Chain A
Amino acid sequence: MGLSEHFPALIIAVFLAAAFLSPLIYRWARYLSAAYLVATLVAAFGMVIALLIQVQQGGPVYYHMGGWPPPWGIEFKADPLRLYVLLVVIGVSLWVFIYALRDLQHELKKALIGWYYTLFAVLVGSMAGIALTNDLFNLFVLMEICAISACAIISIKEDRECLEASFKYLIMSAMGTGCFLLGVVMLYMVTGYLNYSFMQAELVEAFNYYPRNIFTAAALFIVAFGTKAALFPLHVWLPDAHASAPSPSSAMLSGVVIKIYAFGLFLMFYEVFPPELLRTIPLNEIVLWLASLGALFGSVYAMLQSDLKKMLAFSSIGQIAYIFMGIGFHHDLAMVGGFYHLMVHAVTKAMLFMAAGVIIYSTGIRKIEDLAGIGRVLPVTMIAFSIGSASMVGLPGTGGLISKWFLALSALEIGRPIFVLVILASSLLNAVYYMPIVINAFMHHNEFGNNFKPVPRVMKICMIVGMIFVVISGFYTTPVVNLLEQAAELFF
Chain B
Amino acid sequence: METLSGIIDNYYYMVAIILFVIGMYTMLTHSNLIKKVIAMNIMDASVFLMFVAVGYAHGSQAPIIREGADVFYANPLPGALILTGIVVAVSVTAYALSLVVKIYRYYETCDYDEICEIRSRE
Q: Is A148 within 8 A of B28, CB to CB?
A: no
CA distance A27 to B91 in the complex (A): 25
Q: Is B95 within 8 A of A170, CB to CB?
A: yes
Chain B residues with CB under 8 A of A181: 44, 47, 51, 85
Q: Interface residues of A: mostly helix, strand, loop or mixed?
A: helix
Question: What's the least CB distance linking A157 to chain B, in Å?
Answer: 11
Other-chain residue from A141, A158, A160, A189 in contact with B84 (beta carbon distance below 8 A): A141
Given contacts A171-B40, A178-B47, contact A160 B20 (CB under 8 A): no
Q: Please provide the chain B residues from 32 to 64 with a CB less than 8 Å away from any CB of chain A in the complex.
A: 33, 36, 40, 43-44, 47, 50-51, 54
CA distance A367 to B84 in the complex (A): 45
Question: What's the least CB distance linking B39 to chain A, in Å?
Answer: 9
- A485 in the interface, Cβ–Cβ < 8 Å? no
- B81 in the interface, Cβ–Cβ < 8 Å? yes
- B18 in the interface, Cβ–Cβ < 8 Å? no
Q: Interface residue count for B (Cβ, 8 Å)?
A: 32
- A20 in the interface, Cβ–Cβ < 8 Å? no
Q: Is A167 within 8 A of B119, CB to CB?
A: no
Question: What's the least CB distance linking B44 to chain A, in Å?
Answer: 6
Chain A residues with CB under 8 A of B40: 171, 174-175, 178
- A271 in the interface, Cβ–Cβ < 8 Å? no
Q: Is B54 within 8 A of A141, CB to CB?
A: no
Given contacts A144-B88, A171-B40, contact A163 B54 (CB under 8 A): no
Chain B residues with CB under 8 A of A137: 81, 84-85
Chain A residues with CB under 8 A of B8: none
Chain A residues with CB under 8 A of B103: 163-164, 167
- A371 in the interface, Cβ–Cβ < 8 Å? no
Write the A179-200 contact mask toward B (1 if CB under 8 angstroms, else 0). 1011001001100001000000
Q: Interface residues of B: mostly helix, strand, loop or mixed?
A: helix
Q: Is B88 within 8 A of A171, CB to CB?
A: no
Q: Is A185 within 8 A of B50, CB to CB?
A: yes
Write the A147-185 contact mask toward B (1 if CB under 8 angstroms, else 0). 110011001001011011011001100110111011001
CA distance A194 to B54 in the complex (A): 13
Chain B residues with CB under 8 A of A166: 99
Please classify how large the interface on chain A is, using the bins under 10, 10 to 19, 20 to 34, 35 or more. Answer: 20 to 34
Q: Please provide the chain A residues from 88 to 106 with a CB less than 8 Å away from any CB of chain B in the complex.
A: none
Q: Is A189 within 8 A of B99, CB to CB?
A: no
For residue B103, which residue of chain A has the nearest CB? A163
- A140 in the interface, Cβ–Cβ < 8 Å? yes
Please give the residue numbers on chain B whose beta carbons come within 8 Å of chain A beta carbons, in ascending order: 20, 23-24, 27-28, 33, 36, 40, 43-44, 47, 50-51, 54, 77-78, 81, 84-85, 88, 91-92, 95-96, 99-100, 102-103, 106-107, 115, 119
Known: A148-B91, A155-B102, A185-B54. 15 other contacts (CB 8 A): A137-B81, A137-B84, A144-B88, A158-B102, A160-B119, A164-B103, A167-B33, A170-B95, A170-B96, A171-B40, A174-B92, A175-B27, A178-B23, A178-B24, A189-B54
What 5 A-B pairs are tightest by C-beta distance, nearest first? A178-B43, A181-B47, A144-B88, A174-B40, A167-B99
Please give the residue numbers on chain A whose beta carbons come within 8 Å of chain B beta carbons, in ascending order: 137, 140-141, 144, 147-148, 151-152, 155, 158, 160-161, 163-164, 166-167, 170-171, 174-175, 177-179, 181-182, 185, 188-189, 194
Q: Can you list 17 pairs linking A and B with CB atoms under 8 Å apart?
A: A137-B81, A141-B84, A151-B95, A152-B95, A160-B106, A163-B106, A164-B115, A164-B119, A167-B99, A167-B103, A171-B27, A171-B96, A174-B27, A174-B96, A175-B24, A175-B43, A178-B20
